[in-house]
Chain A
Amino acid sequence: GESVGLHLPTLSVQEGDNSIINCAYSNSASDYFIWYKQESGKGPQFIIDIRSNMDKRQGQRVTVLLNKTVKHLSLQIAATQPGDSAVYFCAERSNQGGKLIFGQGTELSVKP
């Protein structure tokens, strides 16, 4: 069935370094992808999104890359800060307005 999976369950980086979180998806019909950040005890917080007609999108300190050929999504965080420590989820959507399919998540830990 449909699934979105993450390559690494945990990622530990030094403050100031760049972080890369990877995600694989299986539904080639998905047209929209989102990255969320979830801190302990809180709901997922929107970070950045990308449509399937794009391969790169940049935000403030974050960049999302989409490779439809290999069904791969990545989130790059520049100059990672302690406040970036959280669980990061990628999610895909297969039809407009419809359900989001989430992966298991990657826990990012930033060491000062």
Chain B
Amino acid sequence: ETGVTQSPTHLIKTRGQQVTLRCSSQSGHNTVSWYQQALGQGPQFIFQYYREEENGRGNFPPRFSGLQFPNYSSELNVNALELDDSALYLCASSSLAGGPLGSTDTQYFGPGTRLTVL
């Protein structure tokens, strides 16, 4: 167990709806990265949050947005859901400068949220 938790475990939405996914980082970690994993593929980087601000973004449209809170937990929001958004959404916890663990390299993943868009 990594100590990274995500909720909900599974979610079913219809096209056009909005969804919010949540992630709690591992104790001592101040950075959260979000990834989308389509079936049979490797995870694709969506964005990273550090000190409550976006710290890098992958090739995803603006309808994918996020937040990080003072306790380092994070949310991923997706608006105007499309069928292709069906995937496993993973968050990964790590530590950058300024946190109690200093700067580390390894990203530890949570169990993911399985989103199905009908």
A96 contacts which chain B residues (CB < 8 A)?
103, 105
- Are B56 and A98 in touch, CB under 8 angstroms? yes
Is there contact, CB below 8 Å, between B107 and A100?
yes
In this complex, the member of A32, A51, A98, A103 whose beta carbon has the largest number of chain B beta carbons within 10 angstroms is A98
The chain B residue sitting closest to A36, CB to CB, is: B109
Q: Could you tell me which residues of chain A, from 40 to 66, have a CB within 8 Å of some CB in chain B?
A: 42-46, 49, 51
List of B residues within 8 angstroms of A43 by Cβ: 2, 4, 90, 109-112
Given the contacts A43-B90, A104-B42, A99 and B106 also touching, CB distance less than 8 Å: no
Shortest B34–chain A CB gap in Å is 10
**Which residues on A sit within 8 Å (CB–CB) of B42?**
4, 89, 91, 102-105
**Residues of A75-112 contacting chain B, CB below 8 A:** 89, 91, 93, 96-105
Q: A97-B31, A100-B45, A102-B44 are in contact. Are A32 and B105 (CB under 8 A)?
A: yes
Collect the chain B residues with CB atoms within 8 Å of residue A32's CB. Answer: 105
Judge if B115 is at the interface, Cβ distance under 8 Å. no
Is the C-beta of A34 less than 8 angstroms from some C-beta in chain B?
Answer: yes
Chain B residues 53-76 with CB under 8 Å of chain A are 55-56, 58
Measured CB to CB, the closest approach of chain A to B72, in angstroms, equals: 14
CA of A34 to CA of B42, assembled, Å:
13
Cα A68 to Cα B112 in complex, Å, equals 32
For A102, what are the chain B residues with a Cβ–Cβ distance below 8 Å? 35, 42-44
- Give 27 pairs: A residue, B residue, CB < 8 Å, sorted on A: A32-B105, A42-B111, A43-B112, A44-B109, A46-B2, A46-B106, A46-B107, A46-B108, A46-B109, A49-B105, A96-B103, A97-B31, A97-B94, A98-B56, A99-B33, A99-B56, A100-B33, A100-B92, A101-B45, A102-B35, A102-B42, A102-B43, A103-B42, A104-B40, A104-B41, A105-B40, A105-B41
Going nearest first, the 4 A-B pairs with the smallest beta carbon separation are A102-B42, A99-B45, A43-B109, A44-B109
- Given A100-B107, A103-B42, 5 further pairs, Cβ under 8 A: A34-B105, A46-B106, A91-B42, A99-B33, A99-B45
